[in-house]
Amino acid sequence: MSSFPVDYQSRLTAVDFDPFADGELLLTAPATESQKEIWASVQMGGAANCAYNESQSLRLKGELDVKVLQSAVEHLVQRHEALRTTFSTDGNTLCIVASRQIKIPIIDLYNLEPQERQEKLGSILRQEVEQPFDLEHGPLFRAKIVKLQPQEHLAILTAHHIICDGWSWAVLMPDLGKLYSGLQ
């Protein structure tokens, strides 16, 4: 039984909002001026948002333990706060969750004819840079693994520039390699 008077209850509106839906907030920090500028330009629409997508692909040849690679990417996300970051509705505050689970799909193109495989791969790579990120709800980082041959895979990592730049990739990629090696 509610303790609110009946006339007050009739004026309540249901709101679909859960401040902990994306996980427990670890910390917040003020956005940098550069991040605020990016956030403001992203507000112009999907095309402006996608202009900031940064995608890196690793062509992996030889034996690959896909489950270990997925685990290494998950560890990478847990290790680097930027990969667990979203932004407040006004773009002034970074919101970093304590942990974030990301889905890492495996796309098998091995059984396709070479021409069709190349077309599908091109479509997947285009989709990575054309799919906008939701800066408020995240995640602002995603990964996919594409099987091209039994001994050849492509790991596709994409992040929004608001959390990841060229210098960041120079840290993340070697770190991913060390995590993968350490988990085998």
Q: Hey, where are the domains in the chain?
A: 22-183
Q: What is the pLDDT of residue 18?
A: 46
Read off the pLDDT of residues 77-113 as tens digits, 9 standing for 90 and up. 999 999 999 999 999 999 999 999 999 999 999 999 9
What's the pLDDT score for residue 1? Answer: 46
Beta sheet of 53-61, edge-to-edge order: 53-61, 152-160, 141-149, 106-108
Tokens encoding 163:
């959390």
**What pLDDT score was predicted for residue 22?**
57
Mean of pLDDT over the chain? 90
Structure confidence at residue 184 as a pLDDT band (50, 70, 90): confident
Q: How does pLDDT run across 35-86, given as a tens digit for each residue?
A: 999 999 999 998 999 999 999 999 999 999 999 999 999 999 999 999 999 9
Domain 22-183: CATH superfamily, name plus number: Chloramphenicol acetyltransferase-like domain (3.30.559.10)
Q: Residue 132: its pLDDT value, please?
A: 96
Q: Tell me the per-residue pLDDT of 160-174, one tens digit each, with 9 for 90 and over.
A: 999 999 999 999 999
